[in-house]
Structure 1
C-alpha cells in the first residue's frame, strides 16, 4: 500500500485541481517525473505521476499551494507519448486509482532504465559519484506481475477488498491485484529451509532471497577463518551462508533488533553463528568492538545512518557489503563511508519490485589504497 502523506498547514491558496500542459522532464526518486509550470518567480516544479520523460501531457495538481516550493500532480492526458509507454495491464492503475504501482504505463525494460537513472542520480547528487548502473531482472515474476508473495488489502464493510489511493486514506475497491503471486512465500533457499514468524519479514519477490545471497557472497568473497558481522540480520539468511563460507574456524555474529526475527535466526543458524538481539547502534556501542574482516548490512529503508557507519568503519573491515532498498539512503551512507576512507567498488541493482519505483541494490565498499593498514 502507498505511503501516507504528512499533515501540514496550507501555505496560501490551494492549486489543487488546476490543469497545465507541460513537457515532462527526467525521472525522479519516488515514482514520478519532474515538470515545471509557470514562468519566472511564479514557476513551480511539479512531481508528476503517470508520465514519462519527454512526453507532452496535461497534468492536474493533486497537492500544492501558492506557498509551496513544489507541487504534485497526475498526468491525465497524453498529447505526445513516449515510445516506452504501454497500456497498463491492471484496470486499477492510473490517476485517482490504486496507488500501489508507479510504472504500469511503462514497458518493463524501460522501467529498469528509469530505476537505473534514479540510482545513478542519487549517487551523483548525494555521494558525488558517477557510477554505471544496470537494473537486472530477477526470475520469479510473470513479465513484472504475480510476484508479491505477501499482500495486504483494506477490508471493506461489504466484505470486499480494496487498495489505497496514492498518498491518501481513500480506498479503491478491487477484484484482484495483478502483483499478487498465485502462491505464498517459499522460505527455502539453496535447499535450506528458514523459520520465519507468521508476520515476520521475508523478501516478497520469490527470486529475491537466492539472488541477494548470490550477490552478497560474490561481492564479499568470505574466506575460511574470517570474522563477519551481519547487521540487521533478520532471520539469518545471509549469516547462514556466510557461516558456511568462513567455516568452523571462522566467526559470524548476527545482530537483529526484532525479537521474533532474532529468535528465528537462532533456530536457523543453530550453533553455526552467534545471534544478538538489539538495535544495531546500541549493540555496537558496547559489543564486538574488535576488528572484523567483513561486515554485511541490510538496514531498513532509512539506511544505516552516520552512527552505524562510523561504528562499522571503527572495526576496520577489509570489505563492507551493503544491501539497500532505498537508493537515497544508500547514497547518503556511501558518502559517510567515503569520509572514513571506504570507497564504492562495485554495485549491482535488482528489479525486485516490478511496476513500482522501488529497486534493491547491493554495494561493495573497501578501503582506499591510502587507508590500508
Structure 2
C-alpha cells in the first residue's frame, strides 16, 4: 500500500498520516484540541491591510476579513486569536461605495488567489497600497513619512508572465491557480484579465496538448513574454517538474507548431538545470533565472520576488522601467565614483551605472545571474569598470566597501542583520547614500529600524501589481549627520 503523504495543513507535530482534525501530537501521545469556535459580528471595514484583507473591529479586536472594502458593513464569522481575529464574510449588509464588480470570472466563483483587490475601484486600490507602505514604516520602522507617491501604469493586461499549476486528474491534467482559501486545490483557468492576452492564448494552445507531460505529483508552467518582433509578441514557455521526460523535445516541437507566439520551450526538471527543448532557446539567456523563480516559490503563494523589478522576470515592464529609472536617477544624484549593486540579478543596473562612468561592484548569489552580468558588461565593453562577485551580500559587502552608494534589491525576506549592522556604520567608510528597492513593506520597515543612523530622503512606490495588495517601494537614505 502506498504510504499516505502528510497533510501540509496539519500541525507541526503531526506524524505522517495523522489528518484527524482537532488533534496534535507530543511524542507518542495524542492530545485532543478544541476546534476553533467562530463568533458572529457585524462590523464596518475601516482599511485594507498588508495582504489585501479588510480590517474591522469585533468586540474591540481588530479582525481581518478577505474580499472586503473600506466602508463595507459586513456580517462576519470570525475566530478570535490572541491579538486579532480572522474572519469570513457571511453577507455584505451595506456595500461600500468603493466596491466594483470583479472583472475576472474566477475571482468570486473560484476564490482565485492571484488577485486580492479586484472588488475595489482603481483609486481605492492605489490609496490602499500607499497607506500599506506608510503604515508599515510607522508601525514597524518607527519612521514617519508623508503618504508616498505611487507610480502607476495599466490596471489590466499588464502582466508579462503567467504561471500556472498543473495537477493530475484522471489520465490528464487540470491547469490553473489555487483558491486563496484552499492551497491544495487548483481550478481550471479560463481567463486572466491581468495577464497580457497573448499569454492566455498560449495557455489555451497548450491545454489542448497536456498529454505527454512529465510524470510528477504536480507541475508548474510559466508563459513569459519575451519581445515584440515586427509587431508580434513572442513567448517563452517553461515547464517545471518531473525527473525524466523522454518525449519532451517532440512535445515542445508540437507546441511551437500549434502556437505562433511561442518561440522557445524550456524544461526545468526537479533538482536539475534548465533544458532547452525547442525553438530559439538562445533568445532567453536568463533561463536559470526563469527556473529560480519557481524554485523559490511555494504552491499557493503568488507573492512576487523582489528581483522581478530589476532582473529576470519583469512582470510589469512599463512600471519596472519607471522603477529602474528612479533608482538610477537617485544614485546619480550622489555623483558616485563607486557603486555597490547588491542583489544585482542579471546586472541591468550594474551596466547602467558603469556606462555612466562609475566603478561598480556587482554582488549576486545566484550563479546564473552573476554569469549574465559578466556577459552583459563584457559585451558592452565595460569589463574594466565592473567587478562581479558571486556571493551572498552578507559575506561580500564588507570587502566590497568603500563605496559612495550602496543599492539593495533583496528578496522578500529583506536583508540579513549583518548587512544592516555594516550599513549602520558605513557612513564612516564613505558611503553617502543607500537606495533600497523592496517588494515587502514590512521587511523594508524592519530593516530601516535597524539603521537609525540613516534618515529617509525619499520614498516612492511603484504599482507593479494592480488588482493585488503588492507594491514595490524605493527608499533613498542619507546619513543623519549629512547637511
Give TM-score, length-normalised by structure 2. Answer: 0.66
Contact 1:194 1:235 in 2 (8 A): no
The equivalences for 1:5-84 within 5 A come to 7=11, 12-15=34-37, 19-37=40-58, 39=59, 44-61=61-78, 64=79, 68-84=82-98
Secondary structure, aligned partner of 2:140: helix
1:196 aligns with 2:286: yes
1:229 aligns with 2:315: no
Rounded Cα–Cα distance in structure 1 between residues aligned with 2:10 and 2:433: 38
Contact 1:74 1:95 in 2 (8 A): no
Rounded Cα–Cα distance in structure 2 between residues aligned with 1:242 and 1:6: 49
Question: Counterpart of 1:162?
Answer: 176
CA deviations on 1:170-212 (whole Å, 9 max, x unpaired) are 2222212222223443479xxxx99422435322112133112
Secondary structure, aligned partner of 2:352: helix
Question: Counterpart of 1:269?
Answer: 377
Rounded Cα–Cα distance in structure 2 between residues aligned with 1:231 and 1:194: 23
CA deviations on 1:219-270 (whole Å, 9 max, x unpaired) are 222566611000000001211111122x1xx310110011111111111122
Contact 1:232 1:255 in 2 (8 A): yes
1:155 to partner: Cα distance: 1.4
Q: Which has the higher contact order (CA 8 A, sep 6+)?
A: 1
1:365 aligns with 2:477: yes
1:46 to partner: Cα distance: 2.2
Question: Counterpart of 2:317?
Answer: 206
Give TM-score, length-normalised by structure 1. Answer: 0.84
1:185 aligns with 2:225: yes
Rounded Cα–Cα distance in structure 2 between residues aligned with 1:224 and 1:117: 32
Rounded Cα–Cα distance in structure 2 between residues aligned with 1:35 and 1:265: 47
1:347 aligns with 2:364: no
Rounded Cα–Cα distance in structure 2 between residues aligned with 1:5 and 1:243: 49
Which residue of 382, 396, 412 maps to 1:301? 412
195-204 or 302-311, which deviates more: 195-204
1:51 to partner: Cα distance: 0.7
1:91 aligns with 2:205: no
Question: For the aligned residues, what is the CA RMSD?
Answer: 2.6
Rounded Cα–Cα distance in structure 2 between residues aligned with 1:176 and 1:244: 42
Larger Rg: 2
| C-alpha spacing 1:6/1:303, structure 2 compared with 1 (3 Å) | farther
Rounded Cα–Cα distance in structure 2 between residues aligned with 1:348 and 1:77: 37
Contact 2:175 2:186 in 1 (8 A): no
| C-alpha spacing 1:346/1:7, structure 2 compared with 1 (3 Å) | farther
Rounded Cα–Cα distance in structure 2 between residues aligned with 1:103 and 1:335: 29
Question: Counterpart of 2:147?
Answer: 133
- Aligned residues between the structures: 346
Rounded Cα–Cα distance in structure 1 between residues aligned with 2:195 and 2:391: 33
1:103 to partner: Cα distance: 0.3
1:133 to partner: Cα distance: 2.5
Rounded Cα–Cα distance in structure 1 between residues aligned with 2:83 and 2:11: 16
Rounded Cα–Cα distance in structure 1 between residues aligned with 2:10 and 2:441: 22
Which residue of 319, 323, 326 maps to 2:440? 326
Gaps of 5+ in 2: 1-7, 14-21, 23-32, 199-223, 229-282, 293-311
